Amino acid sequence: MSGSLVAQALLSGVILGALYGLIGCSLTILYGTMRVVNFAHGEFVICGCYAVLLFVERTGLHPLFALPIAFVLFFGIGMLFYKALMPRLLRSDDPELSSFLSFYGVSLMAGAGLLYFFDADTRSLNYSFTPSVLKFAGLIMPTAQIVALAVGATLIAALTAFLYRTLPGKALRAAIMNRDAIQIVGVNIHRLSAMAFGLAIGLAALTGVLIALVFPAFSPFSGLDFTLIGFVVIVLGGLGHPVGAIVGGVVFGIAEQLAIVFLPQSLSPVVGFVILVATIMMRPAGLFGRVALR
């Protein structure tokens, strides 16, 4: 086995893992803050892919210019979803089950809407970087993947700074730790939850823009795959732990790419889920989670 092939698989794993980590991070913000099981999260990621597709087709600009537009647009959509759905769901006897069923319905509706407007054909972005590939240390990587890694790392750094350096971010982390306790000190939990919902959906759309850059094609049926990846990542990293989701995404991405190198193609998708089962058996709370005492 060539060492350069393994090194290239590791680099690809880090790139994909950063994107998976962003998906998991946005998903765990929702679950940690409101115990919302957003089964439509992958559809929001795919909506980001189609949003950048429309942006490129209508404006002719480079896809990277769509990043701030996608975030602002889907942040607003997330706020609207919170206002429309969450107050009722949070008052139910079992918010987790109610949100799972509700967002499963949202997933079906979003998939049907994408299928209606964009048909079942796979789509891809018509853009190019110059040069199209980069060579260094014997490795050959598409420029789009390196750019996606740089943007993803910037987003991760910005999100970490927001969560650990700003007052709203600290309040959000406090809500993840104990939603009831922060209300005692005067935090408006509904305003904070609406912000968290908008942030999660906006971050999912940003990740969709980057996925459209990296993946050769996407379709209305791709949402479920990213939803499953998001849940695997947050279980690996620890439920309700945003930084753990990033680490879990990188672990999953590297495992997936190394499996492609060392295993038959039919078995490679299984490796990430084997790691998931092993993690649950040896550390049920995840890599960064804590076991709740009852």
Let me know if residue 266 belongs to a domain. Answer: no
pLDDT category of residue 42 using cuts at 50, 70 and 90: very high
> Cα–Cα distance between 37 and 35 in angstroms, integer?
6
Per residue, the 3-state secondary structure of 2-27, as one string, reads CHHHHHHHHHHHHHHHHHHHHHHHHH
Let me know if residue 131 belongs to a domain. Answer: yes
Higher per-residue pLDDT: 96 or 115: 115
CA–chain centroid gap for 48, Å, is 11
b/e for 169-182, b at 16 or more Cβ within 10 A?
Answer: bebbbbbbeebeeb
b/e for 45-81, b at 16 or more Cβ within 10 A?
Answer: bbbbbbbbbebbeeeeeebbebbeebbebbbebbbeb
Let me know if residue 16 belongs to a domain. Answer: yes
Question: What's the pLDDT score for residue 242?
Answer: 80
Q: How many CB atoms lie within 10 A of CB 262?
A: 13
The amino acid that residue 69 corresponds to is I
Let me know if residue 235 belongs to a domain. Answer: no
Give residue-wise pLDDT tens across range 58-68: 998 989 999 99
Its domain, for residue 57, covers 3-222
Let me know if residue 135 belongs to a domain. Answer: yes
Give residue-wise pLDDT tens across range 134-161: 887 777 888 888 999 999 999 989 988 9
Let me know if residue 45 belongs to a domain. Answer: yes
CB 210 within 8 A of CB 153: no
User: Would the pTM of this model clear 0.85, i.e. be above it?
Assistant: yes
Q: Considering only CA atoms, which of 85, 248, 220, 223 is closest in space to residue 156?
A: 248
Question: What's the pLDDT score for residue 98?
Answer: 86
pLDDT category of residue 132 using cuts at 50, 70 and 90: confident
Let me know if residue 117 belongs to a domain. Answer: yes
Cis previous bond, 142, omega within 30: no
Let me know if residue 228 belongs to a domain. Answer: no
**Domain tally for the chain?**
1
Give residue-wise pLDDT tens across range 211-268: 999 888 899 998 988 998 998 898 888 777 788 888 889 989 998 888 888 887 777 7
Q: What average pLDDT does the structure give for the chain?
A: 86
Per DSSP, the three-state class of 142 is strand
